[in-house]
A and B are shown apart, each in its own frame.
Chain A
Amino acid sequence: MIINHPLLGPRDAAEFVVKGDANLINRPDWQADDAAQQFYEYAYLRDNPAGEHRELWYHEQGDRSWLVVTRNTLTHEVTKVELARDVARAAGRSA
């Protein structure tokens, strides 16, 4: 599988480590009234879609960047690769 890194171009998936659901970026607010419930869901509940899925990948044998890879779990087709930094910033989670 080839992952088309937004900065570095096409790279072999062997250079990466997969972390799992990209929803891990959306860490709940610890001061919310229902923080315990939100963290329970954040830590333990995952969608397991048959089809398009967004995952966090870490470019360990490369520039050590975190990526959000949109991948079809049925075909392994990679349709989108973004820097996790940009995704987090777009969601207002990072300066």
Chain B
Amino acid sequence: MPDFTLTPTSPLKGFDKQFGDIRLREVTDQAILSLATPLGGETALKAAVGSAWGLEMPAPGRSSRADDGKVHLLGLGADQIFILKPHDHLQPDAPVREALNGAGYATDQSDVWAMLEITGPGLRRALERICPLDLHPDAFPVGAVARTMMEHMGAIILRSGEDAFILLAASSSAGSFLHAVETSLNWTAP
């Protein structure tokens, strides 16, 4: 046997930094899964999601979250759902498949995404410089989600609170994405 061991590491190595009142940190304890609908199985999947987690299927642009925070469904488009849940299983798709009992196709996407959480008052001043969407609470309220791009990189943005956003970007270019967010925060943080 080789005389070394492998240790898991996250795309941004657990980045965590304060910019004035705003905190930017990497989230490393969440699993990300895509959920696809079998052909003609919309009603069955909706029922399975309801009985498994007590959740509605989110409309495109909206998300729904279980009260215990253990499952978060993101509606990214027509028949396109992403699931965020605590990464507490070696194969995160296994318990989801079990819970849905074959009514949906769950695929683990955790390793291809880097997840950032940005919190604090005034953070919109930093995000509005790199995100093409209108992030005013009237246009993008708590629970709103969108797949878009920032600094030419594909990204998913979710408003998790009044002054809190989750950003997802490709793990392969996570460093460039972090640099874009950091630069914007450096320019705008009080």
- Residues of A at the B interface (CB closer than 8 Å) are 7-12, 14-15, 61-65, 83
Contacts and interface: CB of A to CB of B under 8 A. Distances in A.
B132 A62 contact: no
Interface of B: 60-61, 76-78, 80, 132-134, 146-149, 154
29 contacts: A7-B61, A7-B77, A7-B78, A8-B61, A8-B77, A9-B61, A10-B134, A11-B148, A12-B132, A14-B132, A15-B132, A15-B148, A61-B147, A61-B148, A61-B149, A61-B154, A62-B77, A62-B146, A62-B147, A63-B60, A63-B76, A63-B77, A63-B78, A63-B80, A63-B147, A64-B80, A65-B77, A65-B78, A83-B78
Nearest to B155: A61
A65 B77 CA distance: 8
A62 B61 contact: no
B118 to A, nearest CB: 20
A14 B77 contact: no
Contacts of A9: 61
Contacts of A65: 77-78
